[in-house]
Structure 1
Amino acid sequence: MSTTADLLDGARRRLAAAPREGLGIERTSRWRGTRIVRAGTAWHLGVLLLADESVMATGEILRAAASVRRGYTAESARARAERRGQARRGGFAEGEVVHVGWQVLDVVAVDAGAASGPLALLDGVPHIRWSASGSLVPLAGYLDERITLAGA
């Protein structure tokens, strides 16, 4: 039987050559305003972001884009464009995928029987909840599917 940590380590080895996406965190300063700056990279596996030393639950996903004046019919579109501009001002390349608002998960706690974000231990087997309304599925199968989709 594999632990959550073992499964994630195996996934890292399988994904070694696969492309990663940017992790961003929000920074605010008086002179530069609000921007999203680089905080690392990770492989995007559905509801998980897998980095070299940690695993996170996904948050907001956007593509960096230059801020330009546009007319929007919805306030939500204007806010989304502003977030894309914040990532561009923070140093991400035009069109680069950026993950913001991610949450670091506690793999040790999961292996001890607690839940952390979408990860949980069920009858001694690591599981993941792949959507808010979805049921728990075995983590091993979920990772296999997502790694195949990632082209690794």
Structure 2
Amino acid sequence: MDDLDALLADARARLDGVAKVRIGAVREPRRIRRAFGARPVIAPVADAWHLGVLLVGEADLWATGSVLRAAEEVRRGYTAESQRERAAIRGMAFRGGFAEGETFHYDARAVDDEHPGPLVRQGDRILVRWSPAGFLAPLEAYLDERIQLARD
């Protein structure tokens, strides 16, 4: 069973009842609102099951991007610029509709034929690149393992 659509349909059926996570995307304010000080937000755009390097939605598939928890903006004296950036992103998500402390995914990239992301085809097999070092695993076995972990 190396057909991507069939593998994902099977995964979705087995994930029924497992909690989903929300995916957010940056939404810029309209020009008139920007004139009155409105700022960009990260708004919820989809729900998906988080399975390692993949986010499986009801109809879509994404490569996992960055993961943070939403938080109300507060002034802090961060030493590192990266801490300031993460705090700003957490605040954008809170303003965009994510609850305080809610985990959200952003920078998720759609996986399709043009942008396969972590998926690799070798002949008739579909493999997933599950680590930055480039290790490959058969997608079916990877999904089995991740679904079992999600259900536990």
2:40 to 26, 30, 34: 34
**Counterpart residue number, 2:83:** 77
TM-aligned CA deviation for residue 72 of structure 1: 1.1
TM-aligned CA deviation for residue 57 of structure 1: 0.5
Q: SS at 1:150's partner residue?
A: helix
TM-aligned CA deviation for residue 135 of structure 1: 2.0
CA shift in 2, pair 1:115/1:102, >3 Å: closer
1: CA distance, partners of 2:144 / 2:15: 11
**Counterpart residue number, 2:6:** 6
2: CA distance, partners of 1:58 / 1:105: 10
Q: SS at 1:10's partner residue?
A: helix
Q: SS at 1:33's partner residue?
A: coil
TM-aligned CA deviation for residue 123 of structure 1: 2.9
**What do the CA deviations read for 1:75-112 (whole angstroms, capped 9, x no partner)?**
11111011000000000001111111111111xx3xxx
Q: Which runs of 5+ in 2 are unaligned?
A: none
TM-aligned CA deviation for residue 132 of structure 1: 2.5
1:94 aligns with 2:84: no
Q: SS at 2:40's partner residue?
A: strand
1: CA distance, partners of 2:74 / 2:133: 37
**Counterpart residue number, 2:74:** 68
1: CA distance, partners of 2:138 / 2:11: 14
CA shift in 2, pair 1:74/1:115, >3 Å: closer
In the TM superposition, what are the counterparts of 1:126-137 in structure 2 within 5 Å?
126-137=126-137
The answer (yes or no) to whether the contact 2:2–2:124 under 8 Å persists in 1 is no
The answer (yes or no) to whether the contact 1:61–1:100 under 8 Å persists in 2 is yes
TM-aligned CA deviation for residue 56 of structure 1: 0.5
Identity within the alignment, %: 47
2: CA distance, partners of 1:96 / 1:149: 20
Letter of the 1:97 partner, please give it: T
2: CA distance, partners of 1:83 / 1:115: 25
Query: Number of aligned pairs?
Result: 146
**Root-mean-square deviation (Å):** 1.5
Letter of the 1:52 partner, please give it: E
Letter of the 2:107 partner, please give it: G
Q: SS at 1:147's partner residue?
A: helix
The answer (yes or no) to whether the contact 1:59–1:99 under 8 Å persists in 2 is yes
Q: SS at 2:46's partner residue?
A: strand
- With the length of structure 1 as denominator, give the TM-score of the two structures: 0.90
Q: Which runs of 5+ in 1 are unaligned?
A: none
The answer (yes or no) to whether the contact 1:115–1:121 under 8 Å persists in 2 is no
